[in-house]
Amino acid sequence: MDVTLVPLEFAKEGVEFQYLGPSQECRECKLKNVCLRLEEGKWYRVVGIRGNEHECKIHNNGKVIAVEVEEIPAKIVLPRKMAIEGSTVQYSPVKCRNKGCIYYEYCHPYRLRGETKIKIEKVLEEIDCPLNIGEFSLVLARW
């Protein structure tokens, strides 16, 4: 379990977020060793609140709070026929440019570029693609 700092609105047990890496402003911050200990591109879940608030120059409300987090598998959209729990598959991103879609970040995972082998941990749910991309049904899964 890691301890890090998150914006106040993330400081609730069960909140999941993806760590996207440091901002330019973080390089000079005295708290950077706490904030920057997560791995870029990975997903985390808040599992405990430490309760110490600190000033922050990059978050909207200007404050962050210490929390305990655990790494969680990432979510991904893929064709139903590929989504077999426990299997390793060759993943290719869904070809879609609808950045306003609620599934966009799962169709274009931050860490995956081009074709990559991934292990399917759990199939979560079938999804309805707003643009009906592909000739197959899609599911949301953890990998």
Please give the pLDDT value at position 43: 87
SS3 content of the chain, % helix, strand, coil (to 5): 15, 40, 50
Q: How many CA atoms lie within 13 A of 127 on its CB side?
A: 24
Burial class (CB in 10 A: 0-12, 13-18, 19+), 90: exposed
Q: How many domains does the chain have?
A: 2
Q: What is the mean pLDDT of residues 96-121?
A: 84
pTM: 0.68
pLDDT at 94: 78
Q: By the 8 A CB rule, do 42 and 74 touch? A: yes
Instruction: Indicate if 88 and 132 belong to the same structural domain.
Output: yes
Asked if residue 135 has pLDDT above 70, the reply is: no
Regarding whether 19 and 67 lie in a shared domain, the answer is yes
Q: Which of 19, 51, 72 is the last residue of a domain?
A: 72
Instruction: Report the distance separating Cα 1 and Cα 97, nearest Å.
Output: 36
Pair (9, 68) in one structural domain: yes
Same domain? 68 vs 8: yes
pLDDT at 61: 82
What is the span of the domain harbouring residue 98?
A: 75-142
**What pLDDT score was predicted for residue 108?**
85
66 and 32 housed in the same domain: yes
Q: What is the mean pLDDT of the chain?
A: 88
